[in-house]
Chains A and B, each alone.
Chain A
Amino acid sequence: MIDSKNLNLYYGQYHALKNISLSMPAKSVTALIGPSGCGKSTFLRTLNRMNDLIPGVKIDGDVLIDGKDIYKDKMDIDLLRKKVGMVFQKANPFPKSIFENIAYGLRVNGVRDESFIKERVEKSLKQAALWGEVKDVLKKSALALSGGQQQRLCIARALAVEPQVLLMDEPASALDPISTSKIEELIHELKRDFTIAIVTHNMQQAARVSDYTAFFYLGELVELDETKTIFINPKKEQTQNYITGRFG
């Protein structure tokens, strides 16, 4: 369970997130939607403290993951990032082999047992629905894979360290419809074991993959509800205007 309470984030003087209180139930998918600059990606990045390094950032409020405040309880950032994996808009595999891309997270976490690493690589690639396509070419460079395969490789890489939460920032926006469909199917499968938060500009994708949808506008959380409620009968007029394309 992810819980943010009265979360505020400032980039210098700019108030980017305003009093965000939002709960994401465990093992469910929450889609974050809203126009560019509304704060959805900023919010996503607060969930594994990726904004910390941006100069001038100030954050107040609480973000609890499994009841533990990730900003206040002397959280070990490496441990947090292991627990909260992230997948970005553009696939970013390391210039290494497919195998080493997955093994990397394990190795930097001190795992030396090669048979364990091998086992985990296979498991992660299977979870990311990529094993069947790459099992015979594990030594091949990850950069030789297609865009859609690279993105699933990045998901497998995030899964290898057995996170609880998976953050996805427009994971399919640069992919063709077939790869997009594979990623969406994957999200559907992964929610059995992981809590997923996904930022997307694709309304239909939000409707297809998520259980809950949060609509952000100008740094505020306008509405959070079950996805079917948001897309059939949103309570707020701003939400309705946005999802029906009558915004602005």
Chain B
Amino acid sequence: MTHLEEELKALKKEVTIMFMLVHAQLAKANKALHELDKDLAHEILLTEKRVNAQELSIDRDCENFLALYNPVAVDLRYILAVLKINSNLERTGDIAEGIARFLLESENAFDKKLLEETRITQMFDIAVKMMDDISEAFEQENTAMARSIFRQDVFLDEVNRAANKNIAAYILANPANSEQALHILSTIRKIERVGDQAKNIAEEIIFYIEAKVLKHSKKNA
């Protein structure tokens, strides 16, 4: 293995750690939402610092690689993709942190009926799975798996589009629980953005492996 390949391998390991951290943050947020586990929510806030530090470390590695190795072709596409993936992952970490903050403000466990009618449970499970799949797609350089993200995101978009109507109906029927319903609406919006970040990451994986730009195209719609 050449020195350049060793550097790329080391960078990939760091990005994989970033994927694991962010995936764990999301999975914890999902669990904490169902059980209103405030300890777990608090843990997410603490781990967020590690996510941020990892982001900075990967950015620095990319800068060094660009400056020292002058990458071209697939190596250049890889570094450009990693820079964007890193940023997408950090934002996903922020979303998990945002959800955790909502949970810390909530006093009572969420009404099961509210969770059921808005389909947030299903939505969150799929968002966590998307992060898992996209992590695997990156690790294995599997563009077919990366493309599966576009299909999975359709459900997240659908739940998000129906959210206003579902929440309005719930508040009409349960006016005393309106604050909790608004928290859930806000959380649905956040989970929808997780789907967008996963889609962005999928586009970057396809870009660096196949040199195809899917951003702003209808191919991934």
A: residues with CB less than 8 A from B are 203-204, 207, 230-234, 239-240, 243-246
Contacts and interface: CB of A to CB of B under 8 A. Distances in A.
Interface of B: 2, 4-5, 70-77, 211
Nearest to A206: B72
A207 B4 CA distance: 19
Decide if the interface of chain A is mainly helix, strand, loop or mixed.
helix
Contacts, number: 33
Contacts of B211: 232-233
A233 B2 contact: no
7 contacts: A232-B72, A232-B211, A233-B77, A233-B211, A234-B73, A244-B71, A244-B72
Given A232-B211, A233-B211, A240 B2 contact: no
A8 to B, nearest CB: 30
B78 to A, nearest CB: 10
B70 A244 contact: no
Contacts of B5: 246
Decide if the interface of chain B is mainly helix, strand, loop or mixed.
helix
B77 to A, nearest CB: 7
A233 B77 CA distance: 9
B70 A203 contact: yes
A231 B2 contact: no
A236 to B, nearest CB: 11
B77 A244 contact: no
Contacts of B71: 244
Contact of A232 (B2, B4, B70, B76): B76
- Cβ-closest 3 pairs across A and B: A233-B211, A231-B72, A240-B73
Given A232-B211, A233-B211, A240 B4 contact: no
Contacts of A240: 73-74
Given A207-B72, A244-B74, 6 more contacts: A230-B73, A233-B73, A233-B211, A240-B74, A244-B4, A246-B4
Given A203-B70, A204-B70, A233-B211, A246 B2 contact: yes
Contacts of A233: 73, 77, 211
Contacts of A207: 72
A24 to B, nearest CB: 22
A246 B1 CA distance: 9
A231 B4 contact: no
A125 to B, nearest CB: 33
Nearest to B212: A233
B2 A243 contact: no
